[in-house]
Structure 1
Amino acid sequence: MSCPIIDVYCDNCGNKIKHMITLKPIRDVLRVTKNKCTSCGIGLNPSDFTIELDKF
C-alpha cells in the first residue's frame, strides 16, 4: 500500500503552495501562508478549492 501524496496549487499562477503526505484541512494549510499565495500574493479562499485525483 502506498501513501497518498497531496499537492496544493494556486489556481492563479500554478505555484505549489504545499506538498503533504498526510491529508490536512485546507484551512490549516492556508493559515500558514495567511490565506495568500506565496508566489503571486493573491488571496486564497478555502471554500474555492477543488480536489483532483491522479492514479499512478
Structure 2
Amino acid sequence: MVWIIAAIVILAISVYFANEYRLDRKAHRLRDGSEEDRRLASELQDIARNMDEGKYLYR
C-alpha cells in the first residue's frame, strides 16, 4: 500500500516539473518570433517563474 502512495507522489512531482519545463521550452522557442510571440513568451516565463516560487503549487 505504501508503494502505491509513493508512486503517486513521485508521479505528481514529475508531472509538475515536466509542465514547468514545457512552459520554459515553449517560451524559449517563441522568443524569436513576432511581437505577439515575444509577449506570449514573456507571459509563459512569468508563469514558469511563479511555479518556481510555489505560487501555482496549490491551485
Q: TM-score, normalised by structure 2?
A: 0.30
Q: TM-score, normalised by structure 1?
A: 0.31
Richer in strand (by share): 1
Richer in helix (by share): 2
Bigger Cα Rg:
2
